[in-house]
Amino acid sequence: MTDFAATRAQFHIPEDVIYLDGNSLGPLPRTAEARVAAAVREEWGEMLIGGWNRAGWIEMPRILGDRIGTLIGAEPGSVVLGDTVSIKIYQALAAALEMRPDRRVVLSDRGNFPTDLYMAQGLIASLGRGHTLRMVAPEEVEAAIDEDVAVVLLTEVDYRTGRLHDMARLTARAQAAGALTIWDLAHSAGALPVDLAGAGADFAAGCTYKYLNAGPGAPAYIYVAPRHSDRALPALSGWFGHAAPFAFEPGYRPGVGIDRMRIGTPPVLQMAVVEAALGVWEGVSLADVRQRSIQLSDLFIAEVESRCPQLTLLTPRDPSRRGSQVSFGFSEGYAAIQALIARGVVGDFRAPDIMRFGITPLYIGEEELMRAALILQDVMENRLWDEPAYRFRAAVT
Amino acid sequence: MTDFAATRAQFHIPEDVIYLDGNSLGPLPRTAEARVAAAVREEWGEMLIGGWNRAGWIEMPRILGDRIGTLIGAEPGSVVLGDTVSIKIYQALAAALEMRPDRRVVLSDRGNFPTDLYMAQGLIASLGRGHTLRMVAPEEVEAAIDEDVAVVLLTEVDYRTGRLHDMARLTARAQAAGALTIWDLAHSAGALPVDLAGAGADFAAGCTYKYLNAGPGAPAYIYVAPRHSDRALPALSGWFGHAAPFAFEPGYRPGVGIDRMRIGTPPVLQMAVVEAALGVWEGVSLADVRQRSIQLSDLFIAEVESRCPQLTLLTPRDPSRRGSQVSFGFSEGYAAIQALIARGVVGDFRAPDIMRFGITPLYIGEEELMRAALILQDVMENRLWDEPAYRFRAAVT
């Protein structure tokens, strides 16, 4: 049984803060500070260029990729770190479209995270071959899969509502129709068990700064199913993805397997933090995390619904249909979140009217969620959101 | 006059090391350690998600871009940080090709850094519109510019030989023929004065971990001439490049000016190091750096040539035709560099036979270069490279 008191002790959470935004940026794992300091002083400072070999910088994207792979049900050697989710989605989509040259539709849903849609739009415009991005409502995806669809591009957990797609079912349905699948795991990895290999997924990508707690701007990762990894072309064909990066040949030759999805020089200091952050998962069972996430989410939903009748639950009530966040709709949601933050409860807001709360059992428990619900009740009952200061929108919302 | 004793004191260089590889990875600026620790503890640790606004993470790519801009002669608001050189070259090339729809040739030279060529090859293959990458010898570039050329894609300083292209002349020549230019400044920025605006360059990209000393995996930057920045399409159209990133609209709308070249979440911790590393340049004149680089390079060439007749100078003897590195050819160059490194002189090797030495006046002086030449003489005269241990090739060479 996972010891959640022990995992909690591994994080630095500021005093007087109830942090319900780990779905956006996870908090600082205590070991990260020393790990990054060592990467700066003992690796870069002392080894200089030698760090690539001596500190193993060159291998980190693959080694850490494999460690993330164990959290998302990926086969060994099928995940590599680097760049951003946007870039990794672009690579996956470019490779997938090239593998389905006779089809012209990229199918996604309107709950997908916008950057996935934007990257698809950019790629489609660049290709100029008449591809279209077909966007449907999340619940209409299955019915919209037809023989025109080259790729089904979905985020498993909706960043706004927390709605969870059925990865195994949609993957099977897509493949039966001859399409490939790309799963964005940004709100899945570390939030609930993911089984890419079991679902037969083709491609996936995700970030490490949300439920994996690897810090602001931490690198993304990409998954390519082993059956595709020697056929998929990376499109963004950089030297670190070359079969022999240090031969400096004039022509690109894709590396073996997942290595070809590497592009440029990896962000060594950010990777050091990923390494530290993954240490928290030693001894943690994702089944336990999932069970506790459901229990905590049910509690928070019940508390808020009984205390704040002004709010509308947007997250599916059925635990099997949601990820690890709880969202409520409220027309003054932006100001209400600011009022909450001013009182130490950190959630966030997503346009147009969504108040989001991340449920992260590694460092959040019942007591905090009940206190958060009480503070939210105070904000709502006393219209504390109705202060002009809370209505000014910051650059990042 | 720049005080090079003062700049040198700002770096941590391990004892007993003569570091002549700052053209590959600059050493640790002393302030970087505290800066990254603060970003981890005081920003991420204490501000959590609030760091995007409170610590200004969201603005850093542009603010730091402008600071780099002052080192490369860029107009304010024309440079933004992010991703890797490979990605930024891809973005520039995709945008440039789209601006020259009737032309089909990308012109480069065989001295270009391979990843630039690989990214061009990947883009050309993706586009599938019959573009070709025309590669000529560096000295043949000017003559090869004709009316078929859409883009001239060059690295200003050759990573192997240190040969310097004439940016102003080639840019003018390219533009007279109706082509656009993309300059890779990886071995230029911080090494010598660069005047993008003065040369009328169209696009540029570069890294911050070489002569700018921002650490392993530090982010790249891209320059887009202000006259193009509202017309150039980023191809890699991510949410941070959207006109309203936090409106989460389903359709991509490019941001104003250089902002559209942003893609995904920026690497906050690596950017903190860039910020610290740029602090070293306060009070430094690039004209002084250039003058001293020439003087030190001339000294090193003279010392090595007089002591090591086995080596062949590959770098142009004329200072106006080289950057800030000195390269020698030697058939056993790989093993010789290993023997040198074992004796505390850190240079590096590039296939097939190139021994490279970075000349970096911010932290290297005459005395070290003379000692390095003496040690090199010992390695060569006594065939110290002829040890089996030095012949085993590490992953990164």
Same domain, A124 and A251: yes
Per-residue pLDDT reduced to its tens digit, B116-153: 999 999 999 999 999 999 999 999 999 999 999 999 99
Residue-wise DSSP of A94-128: HHHHHH-TT--EEEEETTS-HHHHHHHHHHHHHH-
Using an 8 Å CB-CB cutoff, list chain B residues near A346.
Answer: 48-50
Q: Is residue A199 part of a domain?
A: yes
pLDDT at A393: 78
Question: How many Cβ atoms sit within 10 Å of the Cβ of residue A370?
Answer: 14
Q: Which residue of A has its CA nearest to B59?
A: A395
Same domain, B190 and B89: yes
Using an 8 Å CB-CB cutoff, list chain B residues near A17.
Answer: 48
Does B84 contact A238 at a Cβ distance shorter than 8 Å? yes
Chain B: give the shortest CA distance to residue A254, in Å.
10
Chain B: give the shortest CA distance to residue A65, in Å.
17
Q: Is residue A195 part of a domain?
A: yes
Chain B: give the shortest CA distance to residue A70, in Å.
24
Does A127 contact B128 at a Cβ distance shorter than 8 Å? yes
Q: Is residue A40 part of a domain?
A: no
Binding-site annotation: residue ranges of B: 86, 113-116, 155, 184, 187, 209, 239, 265
Which residue of the set B19, B113, B211, B221 is catalytic?
B113
Please name which of A194, A195, A234 lies closest in space to residue A212, comparing C-alpha atoms: A194
Please name which of A373, A158, A192, A161 lies closest in space to residue A294, comparing C-alpha atoms: A192
Question: How many Cβ atoms sit within 10 Å of the Cβ of residue A396?
Answer: 16
Per-residue pLDDT reduced to its tens digit, A52-65: 999 999 999 999 99
Q: Is residue B43 part of a domain?
A: no
Which residue of the set B35, B134, B210, B307 is catalytic?
B210
Name which of A12, A15, A49 to mutate to probe chain B: the one with the most chain B Cβ atoms within 10 A of its Cβ.
A49
What CA–CA distance (Å, rounded) separates A136 from A384? 37
Take residue A217 and report the two structure tokens written for it.
Answer: 């701007």
Q: Is B113 one of the catalytic residues?
A: yes
pLDDT mean across residues, chain B: 97
Does A57 contact B237 at a Cβ distance shorter than 8 Å? no
Binding-site annotation: residue ranges of B for pyridoxal 5'-phosphate: 86, 113-116, 155, 184, 187, 209, 239, 265
In chain B, the largest separation of any two C-alpha atoms, in whole Å, equals: 68
Name which of B44, B134, B249 to mutate to probe chain A: the one with the most chain A Cβ atoms within 10 A of its Cβ.
B44
| CATH code at position A225 | 3.40.640.10
Q: A206 pLDDT exceeds 80?
A: yes
Q: What is the average per-residue pLDDT within B259-286?
A: 98
Same domain, B187 and B308: no
Q: Which of B258, B279, B300 is the last residue of a domain?
A: B279
> Of A115, A209, A237, which has the smallest distance from its Cβ to B238's Cβ?
A115
Per-residue pLDDT reduced to its tens digit, B156-213: 999 999 999 999 999 999 999 999 999 999 999 999 999 999 999 999 999 999 999 9
Phi–psi pair at B263, nearest 5 degrees = -125, -80
Same domain, B271 and B301: no
Q: B253 pLDDT exceeds 70?
A: yes
Q: What is the average per-residue pLDDT within A255-263?
A: 97
Q: In the structure, what pLDDT confidence band is assigned to residue B392 with cuts at 50, 70 and 90?
A: confident
Number of domains comprising chain A: 2
Bridge partners of A325, per DSSP, are: A358
Residue listed under structure tokens 């928070």: A300
pLDDT at B397: 65
Per-residue pLDDT reduced to its tens digit, A297-322: 999 999 999 999 999 999 999 999 99
Please name which of B5, B60, B6, B16 lies closest in space to residue B375, comparing C-alpha atoms: B16
Using an 8 Å CB-CB cutoff, list chain B residues near A348.
Answer: 49
Q: Is residue B315 part of a domain?
A: yes
Q: Is A181 annotated as a binding residue?
A: no
Q: Which of A253, A279, A305 is the last residue of a domain?
A: A279
What burial class does residue B355 get, using C-beta atoms within 10 Å of its C-beta: 0-12 exposed, 13-18 middle, 19+ buried?
A: buried
Which residue of the set B109, B184, B259, B348 is catalytic?
B184
Q: What is the average per-residue pLDDT within B250-266?
A: 96
Residue-wise DSSP of B31-98: HHHHHHHHIIIIIIIHHGGGHHHHS-GGGHHHHHHHHHHHHTTPPTT-EEE-S-HHHHHHHHHHHHHH
> Of B32, B252, B346, which has the smallest distance from its Cβ to A40's Cβ?
B32
Q: Which residue of A has its CA nearest to B29?
A: A45
Same domain, B102 and B247: yes
Residue type, B91: Q
Bridge partners of A349, per DSSP, are: A355
Does A86 contact B396 at a Cβ distance shorter than 8 Å? no
Same domain, B23 and B66: no
Same domain, B216 and B79: yes
Q: A397 pLDDT exceeds 70?
A: no
Q: Is A385 annotated as a binding residue?
A: no
Q: Is residue B40 part of a domain?
A: no
Same domain, A293 and A379: yes
Q: Is B356 one of the catalytic residues?
A: yes
Using an 8 Å CB-CB cutoff, list chain A residues near B41.
Answer: 12, 28, 33
Does B52 contact A395 at a Cβ distance shorter than 8 Å? yes
Does A119 contact B238 at a Cβ distance shorter than 8 Å? yes
Same domain, B21 and B97: no
Does A83 contact B264 at a Cβ distance shorter than 8 Å? yes
Per-residue pLDDT reduced to its tens digit, A337-391: 999 999 999 999 998 999 999 999 999 999 999 999 999 999 999 999 999 889 8
Q: A396 pLDDT exceeds 80?
A: no
Q: Is residue A116 part of a domain?
A: yes
> Count of CB contacts below 8 A, A vs B?
287
Take residue B245 and report the two structure tokens written for it.
Answer: 């990133």
Same domain, B275 and B349: no
Same domain, B129 and B226: yes
Q: B396 pLDDT exceeds 80?
A: no
Same domain, A311 and A372: yes
Instruction: Please tell me whether residue B112 adopts helix, strand or coil conformation.
Output: coil
Q: Which parts of chain A fold into alpha helices (H)?
A: 4-8, 30-38, 46-47, 51-54, 60-71, 85-99, 114-127, 141-144, 167-176, 196-199, 268-279, 286-307, 333-342, 366-381
Q: Is the backbone peptide bond immediately before B352 cis, with ω within 30 degrees of 0? A: yes
pLDDT at B393: 78
Bridge partners of B11, per DSSP, are: B29
Q: What is the average per-residue pLDDT within B300-314?
A: 98
Q: What is the average per-residue pLDDT within B8-33?
A: 97
ipTM: 0.97
Q: Is B210 one of the catalytic residues?
A: yes
Does B117 contact A250 at a Cβ distance shorter than 8 Å? yes
Does A267 contact B265 at a Cβ distance shorter than 8 Å? no
Using an 8 Å CB-CB cutoff, list chain B residues near A268.
Answer: 215-217
Q: Which of A260, A279, A298 is the last residue of a domain?
A: A279
Q: The domain containing residue A317 runs over which residues?
A: 4-29+285-391
Q: What percentage of chain B carries pLDDT values higher than 70?
A: 99
Overall residue count recorded for chain B in this entry: 397
What CA–CA distance (Å, rounded) separates B98 from A67? 40
Q: What percentage of chain A carries pLDDT values higher than 70?
A: 99
pLDDT at B158: 97
> Of A36, A43, A50, which has the smallest distance from its Cβ to B40's Cβ?
A36
Q: A140 pLDDT exceeds 70?
A: yes
Q: Is A70 annotated as a binding residue?
A: no
Phi–psi pair at A198, nearest 5 degrees = -60, -35
Q: Is residue B38 part of a domain?
A: no
Q: Is A184 annotated as a binding residue?
A: yes
pLDDT mean across residues, chain A: 97
| CATH code at position B374 | 3.90.1150.10
Which residue of the set A19, A113, A328, A330 is catalytic?
A113
